[in-house]
C-alpha cells in the first residue's frame, strides 16, 4: 500500500470564518500506478482546536473486499527546514496516527495519511484542493481529487454507512437521536444562571475580552435553549465593570438545588507569591488611580466557595486571566489556524450527561498555572477558545462517554499544545507557555 501525502491547495472563498465548529470533508480520489488504479474515499473531521479523526474506505487488493480504517489526527505547520526550527505558516499539515481497522482484515497494514491545507491570504482560511501520493520508489504521484464540505443535511445513512458501522457510537448518536428521552416538565423549570464579567475597556486586552464575552455568552445561551431550560444571564462589562457590581451580582444568585450556575471572567489577573493559593486574584479596578489589589480584587477560590455554598446542581467557575506577578500582563499571541465550518448539531443525551446529572458537581478552572501569563489573539483567549471547543465537541454527535473529567483534561491539554505552537513573541522566537489548572468536585 502507498504512503499518501496530500497537497491540498487553496480555493478562494468569501465570508468570515466561524470559530469553535467542526470541519467535515469527504474526499474522493484515485492514483494511477502503472496499470493499477487505487481508489479511496475519506471522511475527515477537524475540530477548531486542531484535533480530529478520519475514516478511509477502499477495496483491499488481496481480498477484493471493502475496508474501513479509523485514524486519529494531529496538526502542525509545515517544517520549512530539515531541523524543524523554521515553519511555513501558509501550510497546515494534518497527520494521521494510530490506524485501527474497523472493517476488514485485523492484521492489515495501513500507512497513516498526511494532509496539507494551504492558507488563502485573502480570507485567512486553510482550504483543500489536490492530492499527491509518494510511491514505493519515493517519487510523488499526483492523483485525481475531488472534495466537498459536509453539513448535517448531507449526513444521510447512505453516506455515513460508507465510513461507519451501525455499531459505531457516532452512527447510534446521530441516527437514534429521535429515541432520546423526551424533555420532562420539570426540566423546563431548571435555570442556568450565568454571571459573565469582562474588562472590555482595557487598552491592552479589551478587544480580546469582547471576543471572549460574546462567544462564551453565545455558547451557554444556546446550550440552555437547546436543553429547553431557562437562561438567566447577568453580564458586567464596559462602564459597569467594578468590584462592587461583581460582588453584588454573586450575592444576587439564588439557585434551587436543581439549577446550574456559570461564572466566567475575562480580564487581568495576578498571583500573590506570599499566598499559598494557586488560583489567581482578579483585577477589578475600574479607575487608573485605584490601588492594585486590596479592596479592588477577588480571589477565584473565594468566588468558587461562595457560589458552591448556594447548593446548585452544577457550579462552573472559570477565569481567563494571568496568574503571575502583577507587573506582568496578558500577552497577545499569533492567531490559530481556521478551516471552513460544517453546520452540525448537538446531542441531547451528551448535554444531559454534563449539565443535568443528578450528581452535584462543582468545577473551578483558570487559564494558567501560578507564575504563568494568559495569552490571547483575535479568536479570544487561548484557554477560553479551547475550553469552549472542548465543550462543544463533548455535546456533539461525534462524542461518546462524555464526562467533566474528560472535557477538562482535553481543554487543559489542548491549551498547552496550542500555546507551545503559538508565538507570544514572534520576533524573539518565544513560544507561549500556559497550562490551565482546575479543581473538580463530584458527589
The pLDDT score that the predictor gives to residue 129 is: 66
The pLDDT score that the predictor gives to residue 352 is: 92
Residue 252 burial by CB count (10 A; 0-12/13-18/19+): exposed, middle or buried?
A: exposed
pLDDT at 8 over 50: no
CATH fold, domain 181-442, is: Rossmann fold (3.40.50)
Task: Identify whether the C-beta of residue 200 lies closer than 8 Å to the C-beta of residue 368.
Answer: no
What grid cell was written down for 150?
459536509
More confident residue, 61 or 251: 251
Percent of the chain residues topping a pLDDT of 70: 85
pLDDT digits (tens, 9 = 90+) for 59-114: 988 889 999 999 998 888 877 555 555 678 888 888 888 999 999 998 888 877 77
DSSP annotation string for 30-97: EEEETTEEEEEEEEEEE-TTS-EEEEEEEE-TTT--EEEEEEEEEEEEEE-STTS-SEEEEEEEEEEE
Distance of CA 143 to the CA centre of its chain: 32
Domain ranges of the chain: 3-170, 181-442
Map grid coordinates 499544545 to a residue. 417
pLDDT digits (tens, 9 = 90+) for 154-168: 999 999 999 999 988
Q: Report the chain's mean pLDDT, rounded to a whole number.
A: 85
The pLDDT score that the predictor gives to residue 236 is: 98
| Secondary structure element (H or E) that encloses residue 173, with its range | helix 169-175
Q: What is the pTM of this model?
A: 0.76
Task: Kindly give, in sequence order, each residue whose CB lies less than 8 Å from that of residue 76, ignoring residues fewer than 6 positions away.
Answer: 87, 92, 93, 95, 421
The pLDDT score that the predictor gives to residue 14 is: 29
Nearest to 318 by CA among 275, 355, 269: 269
More confident residue, 137 or 92: 92
| Core vs surface per residue 378-406: b (16+ CB within 10 A) or e | ebbbbbbbbbbbbbbbbbbbbbeebebee
More confident residue, 37 or 113: 37
Three-state DSSP at 392 gives helix
User: Measured on CA atoms in the order 251, 253, 255, 261, is the torsion positive or negative?
Assistant: negative
pLDDT at 124 over 80: yes
User: Where would I find the beta strands (DSSP E) of 104-139?
Assistant: 114-119, 125-127, 131-134
φ/ψ of residue 344, rounded to 5: -125, 130
Task: Identify whether the C-beta of residue 354 lies closer than 8 Å to the C-beta of residue 401.
Answer: no
Three-state DSSP at 360 gives coil
Residue 153 burial by CB count (10 A; 0-12/13-18/19+): exposed, middle or buried?
A: exposed
Q: How far apart are CA 21 and CA 393, in angstroms?
A: 8
* CATH 2.40.128 for the 3-170 domain, yes or no: yes
Q: What is the mean pLDDT of residues 401-420?
A: 92
Amino acid at each position: 500500500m502507498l504512503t499518501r501525502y496530500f497537497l491540498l491547495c487553496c480555493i478562494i472563498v468569501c465570508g468570515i470564518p466561524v470559530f469553535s465548529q467542526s470541519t467535515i470533508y469527504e474526499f474522493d480520489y484515485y492514483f494511477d500506478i502503472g496499470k493499477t488504479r487505487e481508489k479511496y474515499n475519506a471522511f475527515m473531521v477537524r475540530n477548531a482546536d486542531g484535533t480530529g479523526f478520519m475514516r478511509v474506505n477502499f477495496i483491499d487488493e488481496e481480498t477484493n473486499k471493502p475496508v474501513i480504517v479509523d485514524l486519529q489526527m494531529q496538526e502542525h505547520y509545515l517544517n520549512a527546514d530539515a531541523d524543524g526550527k523554521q515553519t511555513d505558516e501558509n501550510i497546515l499539515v494534518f497527520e494521521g496516527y494510530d490506524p485501527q481497522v474497523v472493517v476488514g482484515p485485523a492484521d492489515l497494514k495501513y500507512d497513516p495519511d498526511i494532509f496539507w491545507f494551504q492558507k488563502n491570504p485573502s480570507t485567512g482560511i486553510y482550504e483543500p484542493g489536490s492530492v499527491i501520493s509518494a510511491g514505493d520508489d519515493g517519487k510523488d504521484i499526483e492523483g485525481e481529487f475531488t472534495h466537498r464540505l459536509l453539513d448535517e443535511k448531507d449526513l444521510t445513512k447512505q453516506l455515513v454507512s460508507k465510513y461507519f458501522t451501525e455499531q459505531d457510537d457516532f452512527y447510534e448518536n446521530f441516527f437514534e437521536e429521535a429515541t432520546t428521552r423526551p424533555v420532562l416538565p420539570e426540566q423546563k423549570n431548571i435555570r442556568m444562571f450565568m454571571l459573565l464579567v469582562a474588562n472590555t475597556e482595557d487598552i491592552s486586552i479589551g478587544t480580546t475580552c469582547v471576543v471572549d464575552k460574546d462567544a462564551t455568552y453565545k455558547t451557554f445561551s444556546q446550550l440552555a435553549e437547546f436543553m429547553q431550560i431557562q437562561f438567566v444571564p447577568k453580564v458586567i462589562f464596559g462602564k459597569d465593570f467594578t468590584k462592587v457590581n461583581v460582588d453584588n451580582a454573586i450575592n444576587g444568585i439564588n439557585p434551587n438545588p436543581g439549577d446550574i450556575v456559570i461564572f466566567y471572567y475575562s480580564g487581568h489577573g495576578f498571583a500573590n507569591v506570599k499566598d499559598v493559593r494557586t488560583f489567581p486574584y482578579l483585577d477589578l479596578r475600574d479607575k487608573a488611580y485605584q490601588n492594585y489589589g486590596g479592596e479592588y480584587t477577588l480571589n477565584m477560590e473565594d468566588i468558587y466557595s461562595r457560589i458552591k455554598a448556594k447548593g446548585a446542581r452544577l457550579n462552573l467557575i472559570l477565569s481567563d486571566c494571568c496568574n503571575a506577578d502583577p507587573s506582568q500582563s496578558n500577552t497577545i499571541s499569533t492567531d490559530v489556524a481556521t478551516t471552513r465550518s460544517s453546520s452540525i448539531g448537538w446531542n441531547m443525551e451528551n448535554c444531559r450527561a454534563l449539565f443535568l446529572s443528578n450528581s452535584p458537581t462543582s468545577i473551578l478552572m483558570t487559564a494558567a498555572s501560578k507564575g504563568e501569563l494568559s495569552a490571547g489573539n483575535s479568536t479570544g483567549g487561548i484557554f477560553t477558545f479551547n475550553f469552549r471547543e472542548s465543550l462543544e465537541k463533548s455535546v456533539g454527535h461525534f462524542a461518546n462517554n462524555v464526562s467533566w473529567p474528560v472535557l477538562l483534561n482535553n481543554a487543559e491539554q489542548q491549551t498547552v499544545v496550542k500555546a507551545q505552537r503559538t508565538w507570544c513573541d514572534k520576533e524573539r522566537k518565544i513560544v507561549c507557555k500556559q497550562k490551565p489548572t482546575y479543581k473538580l468536585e463530584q458527589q
